[in-house]
Amino acid sequence: MIFDTFQDFMERWDGSSESWVTYISNYPELFEKIKEDYARYGASWRDYLKLLDKRKPEEFPKAYESLMRALPKLTADVERLFGITPDEYNIVIYVGLENGAGWVTEFKGKPSLLFGLEAIAELGWYDGISGLIAHEFGHLVHWLMRNENLEKLEEDSIMGLYTEGFAQRVEDIVTGRPWHLEYDGWFEWCTRNERRIKEEFSRRVRENEPLNPFFGSWYELFGMKFTGYYLGYRFIRWLEETLSFEEIAKLEKERARGMILEFLEG
């Protein structure tokens, strides 16, 4: 089922923080997820209300129209390739506080794809929207193949290399390269510096340092964004040398963790 809140947002939003709160309060489960997303980093959602101030009015419809044009084909492609039917999940279209252009979580009792129009606009992923959708479907495919809430799996932060790598591999299968998060010279730089990225990831795991800089759109590492997605993709491709796609999807957590550590040392 598609939960499309965009028209409600457009009818209520007047550019003020108050109008956004009025809009999002109509969707308490969604609002709670936005709050919780910031709370887990020790932040308050109220501190991020100012993010909406920088959006031009035309950006929201542009993001919405791009998303709606691409969704039907991607939905059909995922069903054809992975046997995932629309009755198994929900799609939520909303305007949030840049929690993510796309993320997968439980909503209304089902694994669900959430697409934040304000974050799509911030990242300028209008032309690359098909890749974003395919990536989020990758998480959904993984969730359903494992029959497990991936958010619980990712409470161990090292597992983000596995889950994001799996989603990136699905995007690769569905839409090919360039990926939605690529920018000029990015893939080539990551390829040249793979050992450097591995070593830094491994060091942070050993020293229990945050892994956010490898994944979050607000971070850079070595002057580059999104290096964890590249590294995760390479991890999945490495696993494919010895395991089937289904076996990779269903790896038990401790085995997956052990194989991540082996991959990082290789």
The tens digit of pLDDT for each residue in 251-262 reads: 999 999 999 999
Q: 40 falls in which pLDDT band (50, 70, 90)? A: confident
Q: Which of 121, 153, 185 is the last residue of a domain?
A: 153
- Flag the least confident range among 36-45, 66-75, 95-104, 112-121: 36-45
Q: Which of 153, 177, 208 is the last residue of a domain?
A: 153
Whether residues 80 and 210 share a domain: the answer is no
Whether residues 1 and 91 share a domain: the answer is yes
- Flag the least confident range among 10-24, 36-50, 223-237: 36-50
Q: For 157-192, b where at least 16 C-beta lie within 10 A, e where not — what string?
A: bbbbbbbbbbbbbbbbbbbeeebbbbeeebeebbee
Whether residues 66 and 191 share a domain: the answer is no
Residue with tokens 């990779």: 248
pLDDT of residue 78: 97
| pLDDT at residue 218 is higher than 80 | no
Whether residues 212 and 252 share a domain: the answer is yes
Question: Per residue in 102-123, pLDDT tens?
Answer: 999 999 999 999 999 999 999 9
Enumerate residues 6+ apart whose C-beta is below 8 A from 202.
261, 264, 265
Sheet containing strand 90-94, edge to edge, reads 2-4, 90-94, 110-116, 102-107
Whether residues 13 and 78 share a domain: the answer is yes
Domain residues for the domain of 225 are 157-266
Whether residues 226 and 162 share a domain: the answer is yes
Whether residues 146 and 14 share a domain: the answer is yes
Whether residues 248 and 179 share a domain: the answer is yes
Mean of all residue pLDDT scores within the chain: 95
Question: Per residue in 47-68, pLDDT tens?
Answer: 999 888 888 889 999 999 999 9
State the pTM of this model: 0.95
Radius of gyration of the chain (CA): 18
pLDDT of residue 251: 98
For residue 2, list its beta bridge partners: 91
pLDDT of residue 57: 83
| pLDDT at residue 81 is higher than 90 | yes
| pLDDT at residue 73 is higher than 90 | yes
Q: Which of 133, 153, 173 is the last residue of a domain?
A: 153
Q: What's the total number of domains in the chain?
A: 2
The span from the CA of 87 to the CA of 137, in Å, is: 14
Question: Per residue in 159-191, pLDDT tens?
Answer: 999 999 999 999 999 999 999 999 999 999 999
| pLDDT at residue 27 is higher than 80 | yes
Whether residues 4 and 38 share a domain: the answer is yes
Mean pLDDT for 61-82 is 98
Whether residues 129 and 185 share a domain: the answer is no
pLDDT of residue 11: 96
Whether residues 142 and 200 share a domain: the answer is no
Whether residues 123 and 180 share a domain: the answer is no
Mean pLDDT for 84-89 is 97
